[in-house]
Amino acid sequence: MRHQAALYALGLLTQHEAHCFELHLEECPVCRAELSKLLLASTQIGLAVKEIEPPQGLRERLAALIDSSPRNQPIPDLYEKQEVSPAPPPAEPAKTPKPEKKTGPAKNPFFISASAPNPPDTPPRSRKAAFFIHYMIYVIIIALGAYAFYSWQNVEQEKSELKSLIAAVEDNQADLTRQLDSQRENAERLERFQDMFHNPSVRVARLRGQPSSPDNAGAVLWESLTGDITVIGTFDPAPVGMVYRLWLSAPSERIAVGRLTSDRNGRILTVVKLNQDGFAASSSITAIVTLESENDLSTRTEPATPWIASGKIE
**Statement: residue 20 has pLDDT above 50:** yes
Q: What is the pLDDT of residue 71?
A: 56
> Mean per-residue pLDDT for 285-300?
87
For the segment 270-288, the average pLDDT, to the nearest whole number, is 78
Residues 221 and 216: their CA atoms lie apart, in Å, by 17
For residue 109, give the nearest of 86, 88, 80 by alpha carbon. Answer: 80
Given a cut of 70, whether residue 191 has pLDDT beyond it is yes
H/E element, 289: strand 285-293
Calculate the alpha carbon distances from 231 to 70, 215, 218, 299, 314 in Å: 119, 17, 7, 23, 15
| Calpha distance 143→34 (Å, rounded) | 13
Look at residue 228 and tell me whether its pLDDT is greater than 80: yes
Q: Is it the case that residue 281 has pLDDT exceeding 70? A: no
Parse the chain into domains and list their residue ranges: 4-38, 202-313
Fold of 202-313: Immunoglobulin-like (2.60.40)
User: For 198-283, where are the alpha helices, taking DSSP H only?
Assistant: 278-281
What DSSP character marks residue 260? E
- Phi (first) and psi of residue 298, to 5 degrees: -90, -10
Close Cβ partners of 278 (under 8 Å, ≥ 6 residues apart): 250
Amino acid present at 273: K
pLDDT level of residue 69 (50, 70, 90 thresholds): low
Q: Each residue of 23-44: pLDDT tens digit?
A: 888 888 888 888 888 888 777 7
Mean pLDDT, range 283-303, rounded to an integer: 86
Q: What is the DSSP string of 93-107?
A: TTT-SSPPPPPPPPP
What is the rounded average pLDDT for all residues in the chain? 78
pLDDT at 241 (0 to 100) = 87
**pLDDT band for position 169 (50/70/90)?**
very high
- Nearest Cα neighbor of 10 from 148, 147, 128, 139 is 139
Segment 250-268, tens digit of pLDDT: 888 888 888 898 888 888 8
Predicted local distance difference test score (pLDDT) of residue 75: 47
Confidence bin at 199 (pLDDT 50/70/90):
confident
Which pLDDT belongs to residue 207?
A: 92
